[in-house]
Amino acid sequence: MEQFIYYIRISLLSIKRAPLPYALTIFILSVGLGVFFANATFYYQLNSDPLPHKSDKLFFPMTLIVPHDCNDCLPPRILSYSNVQKLSSSDIPSAKAAMYSANGYARLHAEQPPVPVTLRITQRDFFSMFDVPLRHGSVWPDDNARDEVLLSRAMALKLFGRINVIGEQLLLDDRYFSVIGVLDHWQMLPRLYDANGRNHLSPGEDIFLPLETGYDLNYQSRTNSRTFDQTDYRKLSTEGRTGARHMLQYWVQLDTPAQQQAYRQFMLNLANAEKAAGRHPSPINNQLIAMADIVDYFGDDPGDIKAFALVTLLFLLVCLFNASHLSLNRYLSNQYEFSLRRALGASRSQLQQQMLADVLIMAAFTLVGALLTGYACIQLMNQLLPNNSLFSHWNLTLLLSLLTITFACSYLVTLYPSLRASFGNLNQQLKE
Amino acid sequence: MSFYLLCKVLFSRKVVTTLLLLQLAMALALLLNSILLAQQTQQQLTQPTGLDLEHTLQVQLKPATASLRVYPALQDLLDRQLQAVQAIPGVIAAAYANQSVLVQGGNGGNLYDIEQEERTNVPYVPLYFVSKDFFTVLNVNVLQGELPHYTTPFGDTAQPEVILTQSIAEQLFAGQPAVGREVNLGRVAAVISDFYGQRRSDNVMFNSLQVTPPYSVDWGYSILLRTEPAQTAAVRQQLANVLRAVEPNIELFHISNLAEQHQRVYSNEYGLAMLLAILTALMLLVTMISSYSSTHFHALKRQQEIGIKRALGATKITIALELLAENWLCTALGALFGLGLALFLNQALAQVISIPPLNWWLPLLTSAILLLCVTLATWYPASIATRVSPASATKAL
């Protein structure tokens, strides 16, 4: 330990002798690592798996059952009510839920100013499929229409000032609903159950409403919707249920490969039956996409973060080369001292231990600098690319990664100069 | 000053020179692609929109109760709101529309000449339901036909006539007169000059319009106003209060002028270009630090050599030029490698974002910027080196 403290003191003395080159090295490494780490944070969070234990068991079925000849012949990314009915007629999935999101206005009574809210209009299996935690109450007993809602914790607090509000009434648009459940803290990020059009980057909804009620009350989808026939989209409760009004996401849980294969076969049989009935003029194209692959399938991965990731990696490399360059100059300036130590009997391993003490000090300074730069860079990125701002938080894994990378970079930057100082020709070095 | 000797000096310190060359190459690659992206964003932001961006205001709003979102209550609300905003001093004209102009996406559908559906079908064209003063607000020119003089009431059995922008009319009717022809939305009444509608369209100038109230306001609607140039700010300030006074049960999403809206449509590209510009500035700073440090260190190491040169008659300018020339040579070599790297980076970026390919003059410009930065960075250490006295040569003896 004493020896280690001695090495640290020698390192600090060396820094004091030429503080500017050392400060520049730390500055450059901190900036490079900070910028890289800021972008790595977004990249990591955006590509993280919100349900690692079941993301390969949840599937989004899509089918090209549309009443016209296709152009690109890809199945629509959103489904019609009638297609969902057909796809959910199978008992193969362990769970299944159709859903869409809508806008609404909530308040406790008509005299209050309305609060804009987002709605997830869905079915009961949604909560078990996506591991939605309930703090109070329960979900609907079946998928029928009913004037009952579940609230997010934040919405319950906003409307009622408390979270145990089971049995309370709220006015959603022009209709009273009973609260039957309140969610616990829950933020699924990325929100992969609604990945179309980069919706997975946005926060979760405030109020959960039964799908049939949403259709009965003509709640329109707040995201992508398309009509492939003459269906009047304002008549969702009637024409919307039978026509080619597409606006639903639909998820099924298929736990085993056998279930997945069986459901694929079911979809094929369904498409063939529709074709035989003359309701399906396009070629058959069914897709069953796992939740883990849904963003890639839709091609909605944010390109800006990927592009910036490439550039920040390049920048980190430049900073590493630069810091190595500065470090080499610093070691060459101190070469005489190294050589003298070698001449007085210090072994190469002792010199390498000295180098490790240098690395530790450099890593400590760099880590602080990188955290500060990374924080500033994240704030800047949130300002300039606000769509990704939900993905800007650090966690333990990320911080430990930064620590490891910082230490590795500090070691790399110091490695070549110290080897050169330790292994060069002693006579030559003492003469220089 | 011999080129051969310069190269020899440079490559006598292989590791340092290699590190410097790599940095310079990467800095050039990043600089080049950042400029390309910034240039593209600039072009997008300055492309013609056919609109008076500064003096046209838009309000995006939605009735907050379901009863206000259905006719006839909705029609009454729209009329009252229009009347109120038209009364604001400085407003030249005001109109409502089911959606605003200059947006990412919105309401629309396919459009075709019913006589030639197969050949003319355009898969997506924005469809605007507007009040009759919409054209005055946007200040568009009528190129063919005549604009409808009245708003077709909601639910009227007569199908409203269609107004097309010039680009979509040409696409559908290939230069023939469009007025009087039938498209799937109805009879074409007029062709107006182009204006920027939605970014998601194949052509941002493709737009179709009908003078009729919005079919539905479940996604909100827009009120657009053209103002006297000197009154824009004052009108904007009053808008929220005026609209809330007409009906408090509304949600105002935003009030902005079209210039801000234009910026918002390209905010992602703008954000990325800004980030790359900042990163490029940092990269240049890092490269300058590296060049400075390298020159400073080697000038110190070569004090005796410089002293001897001075003793043998080399002037201060010759010494400074020699040090600068070493860096210029290094920069030129780095820029050469950088070109290859820039090409690679350009192709890699094109996989994930929209970025134009490299052109011939940008590498020259970026190399010049890099050269300037390196010269600035090495100027001070080079000038210090010139202060080495010829007497220091004697130390070598």
Question: What's the per-residue H, E or C state across chain B?
Answer: CCHHHHHHHHHHCHHHHHHHHHHHHHHHHHHHHHHHHHHHHHHHHHCCCCCCCCCEEEEEEEECCHHHHCCCHHHHHHHHHHHHHHCCCCEEEEEEECCCCCECCCCEEEECEHHHHHHHCEEEEEEEEECCCHHHHHCCCEEEECCCCCCCCCCCCCCCCEEEEHHHHHHHHCCCCCCCCEECCEEEEEEECCCCCECCCCCCCCCEEEECCCCCCCCCEEEEEEECHHHHHHHHHHHHHHHHHHCCCEEEEEEEEHHHHHHHHCHHHHHHHHHHHHHHHHHHHHHHHHHHHHHHHHHHHCHHHHHHHHHCCCCHHHHHHHHHHHHHHHHHHHHHHHHHHHHHHHHHHHCCCCCCCCCCHHHHHHHHHHHHHHHHHHHHHHHHHCCCCHHHHHHHC
- B274 vs A: CB within 8 A: yes
Question: B140 pLDDT band (50/70/90 cuts)?
Answer: very high
Q: What is the pLDDT of residue A314?
A: 87
Left, alpha or beta for B139 (phi > 0: left; psi -120 to 50: alpha)? left
Q: What is the mean pLDDT of residues A400-418?
A: 88
> What is the ipTM for the molecules in this complex?
0.80
| Cβ atoms of residues A197 and A223 within 8 Å | yes
Give CA–CA dist B240/B262, Å, rounded.
21
Closest Cβ–Cβ partner in B29, B248, B289 for A322: B289
- B345 vs A: CB within 8 A: yes
Percent of chain A residues past pLDDT 70, beyond the cut: 97
- Cα distance from A292 to chain B (closest Cα, Å)? 20
Question: B343 pLDDT band (50/70/90 cuts)?
Answer: very high
Percent of chain A residues past pLDDT 90, beyond the cut: 56
Closest Cβ–Cβ partner in A173, A234, A308 for B65: A173
Least confident of A112-126, B20-34, B165-179: B20-34
Question: B225 pLDDT band (50/70/90 cuts)?
Answer: very high
- Cα distance from A131 to chain B (closest Cα, Å)? 30
| Cα diameter, chain B | 108
Nearest CA in chain B to A384: B271
Give CA–CA dist B355/B209, Å, rounded.
33
Question: A424 pLDDT band (50/70/90 cuts)?
Answer: low
Residues of A with Cβ-Cβ distance to B253 under 8 angstroms: none
Residues of B with Cβ-Cβ distance to A416 under 8 angstroms: 15
Residues of B with Cβ-Cβ distance to A318 under 8 angstroms: 22-23, 26-27, 283, 286-287
Q: What is the mean pLDDT of residues A114-130?
A: 95
Nearest CA in chain A to B298: A329
- B61 vs A: CB within 8 A: no
Nearest CA in chain B to A314: B26
pLDDT one-digit tens code per residue, B292-333: 888 888 888 777 788 888 888 888 888 888 888 888 888 999
Q: Are B289 and A326 a contacting pair at CB < 8 A? A: yes
Check pLDDT > 70 for residue B349: yes
Q: What is the mean pLDDT of residues A182-192?
A: 93
Handedness of CA A289, A290, A294, A297 (dihedral sign): negative
The whole-chain average pLDDT of chain A stands at 89
Q: Are A385 and B20 a contacting pair at CB < 8 A? A: no
Residues of A with Cβ-Cβ distance to B293 under 8 angstroms: 21, 24, 325-326, 329
Q: What is the pLDDT of residue A52?
A: 93
- Cα distance from B364 to chain A (closest Cα, Å)? 21
| Cβ atoms of residues B326 and B6 within 8 Å | yes
Q: What is the mean pLDDT of residues B249-255?
A: 91
Q: What is the mean pLDDT of residues B49-77?
A: 92
Q: Are A318 and B26 a contacting pair at CB < 8 A? A: yes
| Cβ atoms of residues B60 and B219 within 8 Å | no
Closest Cβ–Cβ partner in B23, B64, B348 for A321: B23
Which is more confident, A402 or A414? A402
- Cα distance from A279 to chain B (closest Cα, Å)? 21
pLDDT one-digit tens code per residue, A314-349: 889 889 888 888 888 777 777 777 777 777 877 777
Question: A2 pLDDT band (50/70/90 cuts)?
Answer: confident
Q: Are A325 and B352 a contacting pair at CB < 8 A? A: no
Residues of A with Cβ-Cβ distance to B287 under 8 angstroms: 318, 322
| Cβ atoms of residues A67 and A83 within 8 Å | no
**A to B CB pairs, distance under 8 Å:** 136
The whole-chain average pLDDT of chain B stands at 89
Which is more confident, A310 or A252? A252
Question: B1 pLDDT band (50/70/90 cuts)?
Answer: low
Q: What is the pLDDT of residue B151?
A: 76
- B20 vs A: CB within 8 A: yes
Which is more confident, B270 or A155? A155
pLDDT one-digit tens code per residue, A256-295: 999 999 999 999 999 999 888 887 788 889 999 999 999 9
Q: What is the pLDDT of residue B392?
A: 66
Q: What is the pLDDT of residue A428?
A: 67
CA distance to A386, B25, B37, B196, per residue, from A378 (Å): 11, 27, 21, 33
Handedness of CA A171, A173, A174, A177 (dihedral sign): negative
Q: What is the mean pLDDT of residues A13-18?
A: 82
Q: What is the mean pLDDT of residues A56-76?
A: 87
Check pLDDT > 80 for residue B210: yes
- B73 vs A: CB within 8 A: no
- B67 vs A: CB within 8 A: yes
Check pLDDT > 80 for residue B148: yes
Closest Cβ–Cβ partner in A21, A31, A71 for B282: A31
Q: What is the pLDDT of residue A100?
A: 96
- B209 vs A: CB within 8 A: no
Check pLDDT > 90 for residue A304: no
Q: What is the mean pLDDT of residues B202-209?
A: 94
